[in-house]
Structure 1
Amino acid sequence: MRFSRRGSMSRVRAALLSIGFLTFAFTVRVAFASEFSVAFYYGEHPPVDELQAFDVAVIDPDHGLDPRTYRTATSELFAYVSVGELEPYRSFADDVPRNWIIGENTAWESAVVDLAQPGWATFLVQRIIGPLWERGFRGFFLDTLDSYHLVATTPTARHRQEAGLIAIVRAIKTAYPEAKLIMNRGFEIIPAVSHLVFAVAVESLFQGWDQGAHRYVTISRDERQWLIESLTKIKRDHRLPIIVIDYVPPHERERARAIARDIRNLGMIPWISNPELDQLGVGLVEVMPRKVLAVFDGGDDPDPAHSELHRYLDMPLNYLGYIPEHWNIADPLPSYSLVGRYAGIVAWLPRNRASWSRAWHRWLVEQIRHGMRVAMFESFGFPLQAPFLEPFDLASAPPPRHVDNVTLMPKDPRVGYEIEPVADRRAFVPLRLHKGHTLLQVRDSSSGERSDVLALTEWGGYALRPYALVHLPDGHSRWIIDPIRFLRDALQLPPMPVPDTTTELGRRLLLVHIDGDGFPSRAELPGTPYAGEVLYREILVRYPVPSTVSVIEGEIGPTGLYPDQSSELEAIARDMFTLPHVELASHSYSHPFFWREFLSKGPTRPGHYHLPVPHYRYGPDAYKREILGSIEYINRRLAPPGKRVTVFLWTGDCDPPPEAVGETYAGRVLNMNGGDTVMTQERHTLTAVAPLGINKGGHFQVYAPNQNENLYTHQWRGPFYGYQEVLETFALTDRPRRLKPINIYYHMYSASKAASLAALHTVYRWALEQDVFPVYASQYIRKVLDFQTLTIAKQDEQWQIRGAQHLRELRIPRALGFPDLRRSRGVVGFSDHEEVRYLHLSGDDEIVVALATDPPREPYIGSGNVRISQWTHGPQRLAFQAHHDFPLDLRMANIRQCHLRSGHDTKHVRAKGESVRLYTARPRVGSLTISCDR
């Protein structure tokens, strides 16, 4: 294919081509590197997070992606620009004089422009490049450079067009000297402009696409050899990186990987995708997709937060390292390719509805044909009839006229995880799986018909109602299968490092956060002090651990419920907020009980939906008043110098609508609360563990890791020492799987009763006896937000992790091996817990993880409770900065001695055997410079 091509622009209104590239400092580094990674994505809905795994991203700028907000230290967007052709759908197309058009590219339905027209170069710079530069683009992918060959048939005509093309490149660099230009072919002009160009791209080296015939083509050996020789000469003579774009069908992922390897072995940068370039393909690195398309039935309630899928499947997916992207099946299903972008599809569909079942079936068959794996729960979402079942290797029969007795056939050992299944004759429908592995089968005794109700298949797996969960009379549920294992097996999730929000430096996180409710309550203690005063004196002063403390403005402020006591209450709050280990948070103005009904019904029943604050008037700005107004009050009247509110803690039902969550983002504060994690011996089930949170309107609500004393005391009806039961939760969410950090979460009113105060002391003492890593709520929230966006990509047998600045821990099965510290970057050590191995990270912009079968011999950190920065290491030595808000406790291995420097003081510590433990008995906030030798 001698002529350059684009994605199917007639179908894609704005092509987004994404290459993750670096900020200016990184751009300079890449410019002198032997290779960098590139991705092209021409879809309407670009996978922004995943594209961050690449160094360069070329996009069609008409899709509105903002390069300034996208830009990171490791990834940069480039803008697609058609130089030799004019696409009719562009906003500037009608402003191009008709006499500048000299031909037509019928295959792509675009016009060929006269490159020799002096006005075209000016137009390109002023009307196309200039506005893109103003929007923040600093790199440009120049396409259709060879289109003049369609009309210039003589050497003289071609020479005129090439001279015009050289003038265009020079004009762009004259106007914008810092612009980085990638040329798609344009071989004839490279000798004249190579010093102005960042890289050269070419398409179809091994596999191509014939747009006219609409088919994939294999490039002939002669043409490939000619192209390789041409590209090798360009690379050698002009020292330009070469990018090669090839095309294979979406389901041929292994073939794409093989071609990418072949291209890389030639010393070139690969990108292998589909012809439309709307698929996340394979490049120098391959993204390990962490999103799962999570399809739910929103016919009765379109909010995914209220769906059973969110309640039951989001947490298992989070534990596996994946992010559920909720999709209401009633909405049009994605039209773009899911391959490379999603790790799979999960669906929780209680029924099939005529309004969407056929469209769902057609779409699902197409996704499976492209290689996507699917896990379905409750039902398939389409009729159990032959035309629907055949593509899934399933068959059915007419249901027996009478089903008197059904029995369970011998089951797979994986069945019966939390509860044994019970055969249900009312749900019996004959169903047989032709290809796959049946985990559970039900048999009708009278007819002999059988139903494969739980299975792993060649395309994924399914668990039909009622054989996934058992719903108990008390309103709770139990899993018949281990959902974590079932999802891993059905979706065939690959082994890879999993981002972990429970742990740092091998220690389980400990966070304390306090809702402001009950601050003015009089404690049932001598002198009846305010509960806030008791909490300050008995808890916050006694236990100097990082604590996020909130107040309700309507409880303690001068315009609230108790204006006569406000000055006393505010003085106590100021004392709390002055403590060095206390982080400031707001718990709203009037404490809405039911956020979604707050505005719609509150004016008629204000006391029912929020605290009855005098003279509080509802209006369109109520959310702003509750959130930003209460934050401004704390910052203005209560915050000591140098401190500001960093967190908003949701109130009441903790189910804010998207508009309310958006207010926290508008105010640049973090948000948390919600979720119902209350796993106890009585409720020992994964269904009692909440996920990390939920996306609401493009903003993420972070759930509290654990629930507060209100649930452990039966809605504060007693027993008031009931919060002690949270210790069961802490134990059960640590083993056999560490599902959650330790979260001491309670209200101010816990200090109002002797029993509840004693329970707090019990919980604090237990927590501080553990090996923990204390953090503020804001630090935990940032870890969760990193979890939502960080990327993992694979190159050969190494993993590249980007976006893990706050999330500092990865988890792998111990069977995968040990970190190879010589080949890894940003990995500071490791430790084991149960059957997993935790890898400790430095927080660098880019982490590289390489594994080995044997443990490392180099110095490393085994565990600790300090924040690591400025990490450097070698075969015999390591050095780093250690920041801590708590008595330091640090264990290091494979070392002989350490030197600790704080200010002008230096301390030497010698090893006992091959390890050193650094420990201080008293709290010390600050940083140390630590260097250790083997």
Structure 2
Amino acid sequence: MARTVPTEPHGAGWPAALRIGVLALAALLLASPAAQAQPVARTVLALYDGGIEASPVETRIHRYAEFPLNHLGYTLEYRDIRALPPRPVLPTEVELARYAGVLTWYSTPPATRKTYLDWARTTLRAARRLIVLGSPGGAFWTDEVVAVDAILGRIGLRHGHRAVALTLGAVAQARMRSATHFEGPPDPVLPPFEVVEAVRPDVEPWLAIGLPPREGGGRSLTVAVSDRGGYAATGYEIAEDPASGRARWLVDPFAFFARALRTQPWPVPDVTTLSGRRIFFSHVESEGLNHVVLTKTREPMLVAQLFRDAVVARYPDLPATFALTPGDLDPALGGNETPREVVRTIWSYPQVEPSIASYTRPYRWGFFADYDRTREEELVADARAPGRFSLRWLTDYISPDSRASRYVAKSREYPRNYLLRPFDLTEETRTALSAATQLAPESKPIRLYQWTGDANPSEEQIAATRRIGLLNMNGGESRLDHRYPSITHLLPLARPVGSQRQIYAAGADEIPLARAWRPAVEALRAAATTAANTGAPRRLKGQNLHYHLASIGNPQALHLIQKSLEAARAAPVIPIRASDYAAMADDFFDLTVTALAPDLWSVAHRGAVQTLRLDEAEGVQIDLARSRGVLGQSRHAGSLYIALDDAVEVAEVALSREMTSGPAISLHDSRWRVRRLERNATAWRFEAEGYGEGAFAWDGVAPGRYRIAAERAGALLWTAEAQPDASGRLAFTVPVTGIEPLHLTIARRLESAEGTP
């Protein structure tokens, strides 16, 4: 914010020395970082045509563009261009200033577009950046061309007032082939295109089309970027196959959106990484809780018991979040009380986090957004014909259990699992939480609500989970495997639903709903492939193992689940609870980054997000001397990952483009979460907690021998000595449990400091 320096008329009566002092102080204030502070605009305004894409979730922006934009640190705000008061209207020039940019992706000019085009012609010039994917939004052969030129002109382009429908003889001229053939080349037969030309010299033509002689020659830009935004024509940004439900990016969305939205990189919030390592979490739903399997000795066993013995007890070093649907234990609905104590035992394991997954297990949440009990009863009657000789009413009268069983879904034939009582949102949320809390240890309050079935809740259903203080997660079905080998099938962090937000799981579960049918075994294999493909070369997602108890009864599926857990045990990951990830994804939207000076940022409102990422970071490192609340740094695929200390409310991150002189103790990575770091040249201490043994690696450690001590509540639990390698990295493993926080101290031995052998 500009500040006014007192001028001569206001201080004419002051002594000269005082006036000089005031002016010097004012100049100093203006030069201070606080005076230069500029919040980084992280929100992109996404405009869509509700006449074609009925809701934000159905837009191509949400399905394809929001994921790479989240990866780059941006959030999206959706507005339907048809919206009229009292619904949100298109923003004013002043309101536009708060957005990082405006994004549109119309497949064709909107059917109702006059209001939008009038607004664009007069107001869009105030946008920081503009990204146009597909159609500019108007018909160039009408008087709408004035608005079309205004839209494209914001980027530095102009419409040629013509189109090429027959592209035979047209030649693609790719200036940046890697950026315009990202997941494969476009169709050999070029799609039709509207002729677009550059009118400013700084426009970068990533892909141009040489027009055939019959079209008068010349060229048209189909992919271009500038300091004011970007443009990618229909058919040149993405290739879709509606028949298979698959798609692939032609433009590199990471490079395209980064160039179109910012001039210089800035440290973006990252929810894939914690303490320098990729996160791993596992969450399980209780569907199948009452199933029975046979052991190798042909003895019957509850699937819940098999889960307890083959997964929970076998992997005490890996957290698992286990969600109960209390209806499974409610005989009045058709459930079974038998596994109650098994659930209590599972939740008592130190590494297991309790959570809930509704009360009656809805499979189709949309059915209950506008609930009709009569319709639900009709579905039951249609699915279960009256018994022979019309005696169903008699058996219901004699045995209430028989009636209850008719209202229990076999497989997923009904909109929910237990239908005996009318649907009640309070029962699905507050009652479910109360019932589950009675089985959970007092030391483990329930934090997470896991959506069941299609995981497609309404705004009110999501709000109901928020009102009882729970995070929520599931849905999305992100995949990157041999059947879906494109990042277009990776979903963003969350699903916007009115004023609410549903956090997507990081990976797909083993029960497909929206994707092509596949058995659970194949789905688990695909999930493992997705986990590998989203970890390298670019780290796109945390590693997420998500399944239902019913799959545990399949020996092959159980083997694959155990195989995934073995891989996580051996991998350089940091295991966390599912609720921790849900909190990170939730807090991503509120985090603020403020530029204080060149290469200096403050980061506030982080919540559970404790990692920043700087892309294109070769030759850049953290300046620990000027930073505050920074634990350390690590690198992956050309990006710099910055670990923050959650004990410091507002962190400050300073970068250096020169090698710092002398060692600076810095966390490289850890399998445990690190906080409250205190350090000097020869010693440092911190608090840590996590699962399994605590593996740590610290950089910038001076030569010598160091004593490492771990204690809890003043009691020494473990001590050892170690020394750094030639690069100054000190690595060690603490062989004690860290589920309860420990305090670790690493101090250089006195004889080492004095040079004594």
Please indicate, yes or no, whether the TM-score normalized by the shorter chain is above 0.5.
Answer: yes
> Are residues 233 and 340 of structure 1, via their aligned partners in 2, closer, same or farther at CA, if it must alter by over 3 Å?
farther
> Are residues 639 and 772 of structure 1, via their aligned partners in 2, closer, same or farther at CA, if it must alter by over 3 Å?
same
Structure of higher CA gyration radius = 1
Q: CA deviation at 1:676?
A: 2.1
Q: Secondary structure of the residue that 2:333 maps to in structure 1? A: coil
Deviations 1:715-751 (A, max 9, x none): 8853635412322111110112101111011111111
Instruction: Measure the CA separation in 2 of the matches of 1:932 and 1:635.
Output: 40
> Are residues 264 and 548 of structure 1, via their aligned partners in 2, closer, same or farther at CA, if it must alter by over 3 Å?
farther
Q: Secondary structure of the residue that 2:62 maps to in structure 1? A: helix
**Match for 2:427 among 609, 619, 625?**
625
> Are residues 586 and 263 of structure 1, via their aligned partners in 2, closer, same or farther at CA, if it must alter by over 3 Å?
farther
Q: CA deviation at 1:417?
A: 0.7
Deviations 1:128-169 (A, max 9, x none): xxxxxxxxxxxxxxxxxxxxxxxxxxxxxxxxxxxxxxxxxx
Cross-structure match for 2:603: 801
Cross-structure match for 1:307: 59
Letter in 1 for 2:687: Q
Cross-structure match for 2:166: 403
Corresponding position: 1:616 with 2:386: no
**Match for 1:432 among 197, 206, 225?**
197
Larger mean CA deviation between 596-605 and 768-777 belongs to 596-605
Instruction: Measure the CA separation in 1 of the matches of 2:461 and 2:480.
Output: 29
Corresponding position: 1:904 with 2:718: no
Cross-structure match for 1:417: 182
Corresponding position: 1:815 with 2:618: yes
Q: CA deviation at 1:484?
A: 1.1
Q: CA deviation at 1:223?
A: 5.0
Cross-structure match for 2:208: 441
Letter in 2 for 1:904: A
Larger mean CA deviation between 503-512 and 519-528 belongs to 519-528
Instruction: Measure the CA separation in 2 of the matches of 1:596 and 1:712.
Output: 14
Q: CA deviation at 1:700?
A: 2.1
Cross-structure match for 2:91: 334
Corresponding position: 1:316 with 2:63: no
Q: CA deviation at 1:899?
A: 3.4
> Which segments of 5 or more consecutive residues in structure 2 lack a partner in the other structure?
84-88, 381-412, 749-757
Q: Secondary structure of the residue that 1:471 maps to in structure 2? A: strand
Larger mean CA deviation between 519-528 and 601-610 belongs to 601-610
Q: Is the 8 A contact 1:816 1:851 kept in 2?
A: no
Q: CA deviation at 1:267?
A: 2.9
**Match for 1:836 among 639, 648, 651?**
639
Q: CA deviation at 1:360?
A: 2.6
Cross-structure match for 1:851: 655
Number of residue pairs matched by the alignment: 677
Q: CA deviation at 1:531?
A: 1.5
Q: Is the 8 A contact 1:721 1:755 kept in 2?
A: no
- 1:512-531 aligned at under 5 Å gives the runs 512-523=282-293, 525=295, 526-531=298-303
Larger mean CA deviation between 452-461 and 302-311 belongs to 452-461
Q: Is the 8 A contact 2:30 2:36 kept in 1?
A: no
Cross-structure match for 1:129: none
Instruction: Measure the CA separation in 1 of the matches of 2:16 and 2:607.
Output: 42
Q: CA deviation at 1:365?
A: 4.5
> Are residues 336 and 456 of structure 1, via their aligned partners in 2, closer, same or farther at CA, if it must alter by over 3 Å?
closer
Instruction: Measure the CA separation in 2 of the matches of 1:590 and 1:709.
Output: 21
Corresponding position: 1:871 with 2:677: yes
Cross-structure match for 1:782: 583
Letter in 1 for 2:731: R
**Match for 1:591 among 358, 361, 385?**
361
**Match for 1:880 among 672, 678, 686?**
686
Instruction: Measure the CA separation in 2 of the matches of 1:684 and 1:654.
Output: 24
> Are residues 486 and 224 of structure 1, via their aligned partners in 2, closer, same or farther at CA, if it must alter by over 3 Å?
farther
- 1:118-129 aligned at under 5 Å gives the runs none
Letter in 2 for 1:557: D
The higher-RCO structure (CA 8 Å, 6+ apart) is: 2
Q: CA deviation at 1:585?
A: 1.0
Q: Is the 8 A contact 1:553 1:560 kept in 2?
A: no
Q: Is the 8 A contact 1:419 1:470 kept in 2?
A: no
Instruction: Measure the CA separation in 2 of the matches of 1:226 and 1:333.
Output: 49
Larger mean CA deviation between 545-554 and 522-531 belongs to 522-531
Q: CA deviation at 1:324?
A: 1.1
Instruction: Measure the CA separation in 1 of the matches of 2:507 and 2:25.
Output: 50
Q: CA deviation at 1:352?
A: 2.0
> Are residues 268 and 477 of structure 1, via their aligned partners in 2, closer, same or farther at CA, if it must alter by over 3 Å?
closer
Deviations 1:839-888 (A, max 9, x none): 11111101011111215721121110222232222344322112223311
**Match for 2:221 among 423, 427, 452?**
452
Cross-structure match for 2:103: 346
Cross-structure match for 1:634: 436
Instruction: Measure the CA separation in 2 of the matches of 1:723 and 1:730.
Output: 11
Corresponding position: 1:380 with 2:136: yes
Instruction: Measure the CA separation in 1 of the matches of 2:124 and 2:514.
Output: 48
Corresponding position: 1:734 with 2:535: yes
Instruction: Measure the CA separation in 1 of the matches of 2:35 and 2:645.
Output: 26
Letter in 2 for 1:538: A
> Are residues 230 and 931 of structure 1, via their aligned partners in 2, closer, same or farther at CA, if it must alter by over 3 Å?
farther
Deviations 1:359-398 (A, max 9, x none): 3334334555335111111211122254234331313234
Q: CA deviation at 1:559?
A: 2.7
Instruction: Measure the CA separation in 2 of the matches of 1:515 and 1:231.
Output: 75
Deviations 1:901-926 (A, max 9, x none): 41332624231433322313454432
Give the alignment's Cα RMSD to 1 decimal: 3.0
Q: CA deviation at 1:610?
A: 2.8
Corresponding position: 1:698 with 2:499: yes
**Match for 1:552 among 325, 336, 341?**
325
Cross-structure match for 2:117: 361
Q: Is the 8 A contact 2:227 2:263 kept in 1?
A: no
Cross-structure match for 1:760: 561
> Are residues 750 and 266 of structure 1, via their aligned partners in 2, closer, same or farther at CA, if it must alter by over 3 Å?
same
Instruction: Measure the CA separation in 1 of the matches of 2:163 and 2:30.
Output: 60
Instruction: Measure the CA separation in 2 of the matches of 1:424 and 1:588.
Output: 51
- 1:461-476 aligned at under 5 Å gives the runs 461-472=230-241, 473-476=243-246
Larger mean CA deviation between 638-647 and 502-511 belongs to 638-647
Instruction: Measure the CA separation in 1 of the matches of 2:420 and 2:583.
Output: 37
**Match for 1:390 among 140, 149, 158?**
149
- 1:277-296 aligned at under 5 Å gives the runs 283-296=35-48
Instruction: Measure the CA separation in 2 of the matches of 1:230 and 1:343.
Output: 46
Cross-structure match for 2:126: 370
Q: CA deviation at 1:354?
A: 5.0
**Match for 1:677 among 478, 481, 484?**
478
Deviations 1:252-294 (A, max 9, x none): xxxxxxxxxx9963436999xxxxxxxxxx9441101111111
Q: Is the 8 A contact 1:790 1:803 kept in 2?
A: yes
TM (norm. structure 2) is: 0.83
Instruction: Measure the CA separation in 2 of the matches of 1:522 and 1:448.
Output: 74
Q: Is the 8 A contact 1:295 1:347 kept in 2?
A: yes
Larger mean CA deviation between 728-737 and 365-374 belongs to 365-374
Percent identity between matched residues is 23
Instruction: Measure the CA separation in 2 of the matches of 1:704 and 1:624.
Output: 24
Cross-structure match for 1:115: none
